[in-house]
């Protein structure tokens, strides 16, 4: 699905990531952990083509990112659902419209997709809030709406950046169970988080690989997790 081979990324002030090799295979579940500023978000951005590596190769669904133009990357992103920590909504659109945004940009008929949209908002428990606007939502509601938007195109891969960063434990568990459910449906999942309790809780639900960023590279986390 997504492969990084000897990837390095330099922010200008020195190397943030170097010699990173990673493969997100179909149906896999990965956690990406590490201290703040270690490069978790950068690594996720490299995985969906929002950043271009300083060196090395990123392949999205077999295609080299370096050889893709903006339209190719846009099309690849329709196969990758992204959940941002700050959710990134359009505040002038209601929750239902924000969830349907990937359908809009893909030129899909929203009326024809109405049933799917309703099912999805129901799945994330936001049916009653679908007419609300993003600033009116709680942290947990925002994360669930972001997750719904990330999966509405039925992507092959879901990348989540600190999806439980600003929410309580119960809501974190709920988000986690939704991600596990997606993985059971065959989706490839990668979650960047510094919440070790969440990773431990996930281990009981799903077979996940835990990767830790340290010294600019990634390594498989030990038994301490």
User: Nearer to another protein by C-beta: 92 or 223?
Assistant: 92
For residue 207, the minimal CB distance to another protein (Å) is 29
Site for another protein in 101-160 (CB under 8 A): 101-102, 104-107, 110, 149, 153
Distance CA 195, CA 8 (A): 25
Question: Binding another protein by CB under 8 A: which of 17, 68, 82, 191?
Answer: 82
Site for another protein in 16-55 (CB under 8 A): 50
Smallest Cα–Cα separation from 129: which of 142, 116, 147?
142
For residue 165, the minimal CB distance to another protein (Å) is 17
- State phi, psi for 57 to the nearest 5 degrees: -130, 135
User: Nearer to another protein by C-beta: 68 or 179?
Assistant: 68
Distance CA 8, CA 97 (A): 37
For residue 37, the minimal CB distance to another protein (Å) is 21
Question: Binding another protein by CB under 8 A: which of 26, 74, 185, 197?
Answer: 74
Question: Binding another protein by CB under 8 A: which of 25, 61, 66, 90?
Answer: 90
- Measure Cα distances from 185 to 26, 27, 110, 156, 212 in Å: 11, 8, 24, 10, 26
Residues 198/164, Cβ–Cβ less than 8 Å: yes
Sign of CA dihedral 144, 149, 155, 159: negative
Residues that bind another protein (CB under 8 A): 50, 70-71, 74-75, 77-78, 82, 84, 88-90, 92-93, 97, 101-102, 104-107, 110, 149, 153
């Amino acid at each position: 699905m997504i492969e990084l081979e000897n990837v390095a990324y330099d922010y200008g002030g020195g190397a943030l990531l170097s010699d990173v090799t990673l493969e997100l295979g179909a149906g896999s579940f990965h956690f990406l952990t590490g201290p703040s500023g270690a490069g978790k978000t950068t690594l996720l951005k490299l995985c969906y083509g929002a950043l271009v590596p300083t060196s090395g190769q990123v392949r999205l669904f077999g295609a080299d990112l370096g050889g893709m133009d903006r339209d190719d990357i846009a099309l690849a992103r329709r196969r990758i659902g992204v959940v941002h920590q700050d959710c990134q909504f359009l505040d002038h659109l209601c929750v239902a419209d924000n969830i349907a945004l990937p359908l809009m940009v893909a030129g899909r008929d929203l009326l024809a997709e109405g049933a799917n949209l309703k099912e999805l908002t129901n799945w994330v428990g936001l049916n009653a809030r679908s007419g609300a606007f993003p600033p009116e939502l709680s942290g947990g509601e925002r994360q669930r709406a972001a997750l719904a938007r990330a999966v509405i195109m039925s992507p092959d891969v879901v990348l989540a950046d600190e999806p439980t960063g600003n929410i309580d434990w119960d809501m974190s568990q709920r988000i986690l169970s939704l991600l596990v459910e997606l993985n059971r449906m065959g989706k490839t999942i990668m979650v960047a988080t510094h919440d070790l309790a969440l990773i431990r809780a996930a281990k009981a639900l799903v077979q996940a690989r835990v990767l830790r960023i340290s010294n600019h590279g990634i390594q498989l986390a030990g038994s301490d997790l």
